[in-house]
Amino acid sequence: MYFTRSEIKSTKIKRYFQKDGRHFVELEENPFYEDGAGGQIGDRGFIDSARVLYVSDLIEVDGPLNAGSTVEIKIDSERRKEIARQHTAQHIISAVIEKHYGAKTVGFHMGEEDTTIDLDGTFNIEETENFSNDIVLSNLKVEEIILTPEEASKYELRKDLSEKAIKSGNVRLIKIEDFDLNACGGFHVGSTSEIGIIKITHSERVKGGLTRIWFVAGKRALKDYQMKSQVLYESAKIFDASWMDLKARIQKSLDDLKEKNATLKKMAEKLANYISKEIHPFEILELDESVASFLTRIRQDIPYAVKISGTNNVSFSLPNYDRSKVMDTAKILGIKGGGNGPIYRFATENPAIFMEKIREG
Ligand SMILES: [Zn+2]
């Protein structure tokens, strides 16, 4: 594994302060990799017994520390290894896509769950995944080479050297045998097989005509596999099917549901027709939404109300009543809603009171 940070075991607290109940320190010598530097997530670990929460110029910790004191540094090395796997996987994916499809990597961002790469150009995801995993399984050696910018300029790099790298005086190249060579300051594995597996989980077109891919590698890929298997297994169980048949079973269930909904709609319309013939003036009914909706379309020549089951929504049929009078009555009773007549929709728990007021005139 190649880490850009020294493995110092102790240092001094240069500064400590609290802000809004949060704790911040500045170390005399900072061995923690910063969050977001080079697109990578930061180190975690401990400063004495205080847990590191976030690393930038200042380090946020979960408890107080004493300025001036000498502290013990513990860096979460498992996290570093996992970051190295994601980061080296990014080198491989970017190189594969550039080599096979000529699409350039223009951005890269590592998150706590997955990593994204923004690419300019088109490529086949399944092929990219296969080619990338061939590189992983070929167990290629990953080397770190430190050169001056002049020396580095003699090499053919995948990406041009950044201004920052040139100014720093030392360029750190990451070489994956004769497969890829790129300047980078992040964490990397010692051989590609340490990555385990690379899985592209998602892709999307993003602004600027770019394609963004999301990927996981190493233990993250295993976790992704475990979680998805679990969901698939449990979903298949609901359908009493094997996971292979799940998609077909879901489709069939949706088709069945569509058919049943169509039948239900026809029945609701029929029922509304029957009811429409039996309504008395000023009657208040309670019906299912679909039946009520048909009914208020079919019958609009007498006053009546339909409360939608399980809600406070009431549809009123009020022909031959002035709209302004209907709205005034609602206002007096503090009832919200409206309509253009003869059908109105109001929210009320007691439609009888409203109907009585209308009837009284
Ligand atoms: Zn890198």
Ligand 1 centroid distance, CA of 224 (Å): 23
Domain that holds residue 117: 80-233
Q: What is the CATH number of the domain that holds 68?
A: 2.40.30.130
Residue 168, pLDDT above cutoff 90: no
Q: Give residue 6's pLDDT band: very low, low, confident or very high (50, 70, 90).
A: low
List, for residues 208-235, the tens digit of each pLDDT value. 999 999 999 999 999 999 999 999 999 9
Q: Which of 155, 143, 158 is nearest to 105 (CA)?
A: 158
The verdict on 85 and 213 lying in the same domain is yes
- Ligand 1 centroid to residue 9 C-alpha, Å: 25
- In sequence order, the β-bridge partners of residue 344 are 316
341 pLDDT higher than 90 = no
What DSSP line would sit under 247-289, residue for residue? Answer: HHHHHHHHHHHHHHHHHHHHHHHHHHHHHHHHPPTTEEEEE-H
pTM of the predicted protein model: 0.78
For residues 40 and 144, membership in a common domain is answered with no
CA–centroid distance, 155 to ligand 1, in Å, is: 17
Distance 360 CA to ligand 1 centre (A): 81
Calculate helix-pair angle for 218-238, 77-101, nearest 10 degrees: 80
The whole-chain average pLDDT of the chain stands at: 93
- Whether residue 220 is found in the same domain as residue 100: yes
Q: Say if strands 180-183 and 171-176 run parallel, antiparallel, or are unpaired.
A: antiparallel
> Do 125 and 197 fall into the same domain?
yes
**Ligand 1 centroid distance, CA of 132 (Å):** 15
| Same domain, residue pair 103 and 14 | no
pLDDT of 13-48, one tens digit each? 999 999 999 999 999 999 999 999 888 999 999 999
Count the domains in the chain: 3
Same domain, 106 and 217: yes
Cα–ligand 1 centroid distance for 180 (angstroms): 11
Tens of pLDDT, residues 63-83: 999 999 999 999 999 999 999
* Distance of CA 191 from the midpoint of ligand 1 (Å): 13
Same domain, 36 and 84: no
The residue out of 75, 95, 118 marking a domain boundary is 75
Cα(60)–Cα(19) distance, integer angstroms: 10
Interval between CA 146 and ligand 1 midpoint (Å): 14
Residues 113 and 32: beta-carbon distance below 8 Å: no
> Separation of 59 CA from ligand 1 center, angstroms?
23
